[in-house]
């Protein structure tokens, strides 16, 4: 068993200078990045990948080597989907401006997007990134509740602004949490005693009590509804509801961060929160929304923005511009027309069954969790589900990379294989992945 390795900036699967097998050309590129972009950026893999092109579920490096992309939830409808590319190009050639002029595009998209939400969630505001969406949710929650306290999970990631980095403990000890932020244990059935929903809610209650004890009124509980950076926790459906009850009784709001699970990835529903049979107060969206074009948003109940809207105005120069709206519209149409949510359910189930079958032959493959095409598989030592093996997990991720498959690792112990392919993934792609994973496990 190994503890979490010391990684720069606490990111699993980060490139560490001096390791790996970089060809001289890429060594020069790494040095040039360092010189130009400075010290805060990280690269993936022991030997970073130098990509130049993408198509569907495949990415190609500068030498033409193909990689099966089992990781990029941004290019959710497939890399460079022709319909999305065409929509972006067409609108770019006509008009690209912001939300201070009247334009149909943003409204047509808003109507189409909101039709996928429960009727109570009937406003949407547009941003460029998930971080901005969460930052806006943060401001609205404070204005609406008069509280300032926020509750997040122990290894959450919600974004990069000052306020939101301060509620993203997965950034590591170098990025301090805000004084008004409390963390709760992830809903990990292996590590929480008893019923997961009750145990998770008890954690939220303890956080509420601690905030109040320090004279801080709770403003919101915010969670990624598949708990990606905590290690992927989706089951049992409904487990989130009691915790939402706790925050609401304390006068706080519930914010569902759908930046990772949203837009059909979890298979049975468009949004991860629907798995839990609840309606959030706000829902942040991002990553897959523009299939690579920077568009994100915040969906909310109209009543939560009354206070904020009466005092403040909101303008985001690029958020919701005409090109963003056209691009996001094309993405949503592709998700609908190509039945990608259904594909996530069927191919996801097949994927999970394949991983479970592999686990019967390989002790290192421990607990497997998933919802649709969002899968997490723990790498453990000696077949013990609690013996996280970060080092072996890192070796598997790098072995796969060397053999043409891209995934990464996640979780507080850096031992969870994070599998999150484009939603156009096929049964054939799953078979290819499982074959390469088995080779990695044997190696
Ligand atoms: N929330 C979650 C759950 C995320 O995974 C991310 C990005 N990894 C964000 C928010 C922030 O999104 P962005 O990088 O677009 O600012």
User: Which CATH topology does 82-337 take?
Assistant: 3.40.640
* 197 C-beta closer than 6 A to ligand 1: no
| pTM, entire model | 0.97
* 130 C-beta closer than 6 A to ligand 1: yes
Contact of 295 with 289, CB cutoff 8 Å: yes
* 259 C-beta closer than 6 A to ligand 1: yes
What is the spatial distance between Cα 189 and Cα 192, in angstroms, rounded to a whole number?
5
Mean local confidence (pLDDT), 57-80: 97
Percent of the chain with pLDDT over 90: 94
Instruction: Name the closest-CA residue to atom 2, ligand 1.
Output: 158
Helix axis angle, 340-361 relative to 322-337, nearest 10°? 60
Q: What is the 3-state secondary structure (H, E, C) of 259-317?
A: CCCCCCCCCCCCCHHHHHCCCCCEEEECHHHHECECCEEEEECHHHHHHHHHHCCCCCC
Q: What per-residue confidence (pLDDT) applies to 9?
A: 53
* 224 C-beta closer than 6 A to ligand 1: yes
* 411 C-beta closer than 6 A to ligand 1: no
Mean local confidence (pLDDT), 214-242: 98
Largest interatomic CA distance in the chain:
62
Is the previous residue joined to 230 through a cis bond, with omega within 30 degrees of 0?
no
* Residue 401 pLDDT greater than 90, yes or no: yes
Domain boundary assignment for the chain: 59-77+339-442, 82-337
Distance 157 CA to ligand 1 centre (A): 7
Give me the sign of the Cα torsion angle 277, 280, 286, 287: negative
- Nearest Cα neighbor of 45 from 64, 67, 74 is 67
Domains 59-77+339-442 and 82-337 share a fold: no
Mean local confidence (pLDDT), 309-313: 93
Query: What value does the mean pLDDT of the chain take?
Result: 96
Q: What per-residue confidence (pLDDT) applies to 268?
A: 87
Instruction: Name the closest-CA residue to atom 10, ligand 1.
Output: 158
* Residue 390 pLDDT greater than 80, yes or no: yes
* 258 C-beta closer than 6 A to ligand 1: no
Q: Looking at the domain covering 59-77+339-442, what would its CATH class be?
A: alpha beta
Q: Which atom of ligand 1 is nearest to the CA of 128?
A: 15
């Amino acid at each position: 068993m190994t503890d979490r390795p010391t990684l720069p900036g606490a990111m699993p699967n980060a490139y560490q200078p001096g390791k790996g097998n970089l060809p001289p050309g890429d060594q020069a590129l790494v040095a040039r990045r360092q010189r130009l972009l400075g010290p805060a950026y990280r690269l993936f893999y022991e030997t970073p990948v130098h990509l130049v092109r993408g198509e569907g579920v495949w990415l190609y490096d500068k030498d033409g080597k193909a990689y099966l992309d089992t990781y990029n939830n941004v290019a959710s409808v497939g890399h460079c989907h022709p319909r999305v590319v065409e929509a972006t190009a067409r609108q770019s050639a006509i008009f690209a401006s912001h939300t201070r002029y009247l334009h149909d595009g943003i409204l047509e998209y808003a109507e189409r997007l909101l039709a996928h939400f429960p009727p109570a969630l009937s406003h949407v505001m547009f941003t460029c990134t998930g971080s901005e969406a969460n930052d806006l949710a943060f401001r609205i929650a404070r204005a609406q509740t008069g509280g300032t306290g926020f509750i997040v999970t122990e290894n959450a990631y919600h974004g990069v602004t000052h306020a939101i980095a301060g509620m993203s403990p997965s950034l590591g000890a170098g990025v301090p949490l805000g004084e008004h932020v409390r963390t709760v244990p992830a809903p990990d059935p292996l590590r929480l005693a008893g019923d997961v929903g009750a145990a998770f809610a008890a954690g939220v209650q303890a956080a509420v009590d601690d905030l109040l004890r320090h004279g801080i009124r709770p403003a919101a509980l915010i969670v990624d509804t598949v708990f990606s950076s905590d290690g992927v926790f989706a089951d049992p459906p409904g487990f989130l509801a009691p915790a939402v009850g706790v925050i609401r009784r304390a006068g706080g709001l519930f914010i569902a961060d759908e930046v990772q699970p949203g837009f059909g990835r979890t298979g049975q529903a468009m949004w991860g929160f629907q798995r839990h049979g609840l309606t959030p107060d706000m829902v942040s969206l991002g990553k897959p929304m523009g299939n690579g074009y920077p568009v994100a948003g915040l969906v909310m109940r109209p009543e939560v923005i009354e206070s904020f809207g009466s005092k403040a105005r909101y303008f985001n120069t690029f958020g919701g511009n005409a090109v963003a709206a056209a691009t996001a519209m094309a993405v949503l149409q592709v998700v609908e027309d190509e039945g990608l949510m259904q594909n996530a359910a069927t191919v996801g189930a097949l994927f999970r069954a394949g991983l479970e079958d592999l686990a019967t032959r390989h002790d290192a493959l421990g607990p497997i969790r998933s919802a649709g095409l969002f899968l997490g598989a723990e790498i453990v030592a000696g077949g013990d589900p609690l013996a996280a093996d970060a080092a072996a997990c890192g070796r598997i991720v790098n072995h796969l990379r060397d053999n043409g498959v891209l995934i990464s690792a996640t979780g507080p112990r850096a031992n969870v294989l994070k599998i999150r392919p484009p939603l156009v993934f096929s049964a054939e792609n799953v078979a290819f992945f499982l074959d390469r994973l088995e080779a990695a496990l044997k190696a």
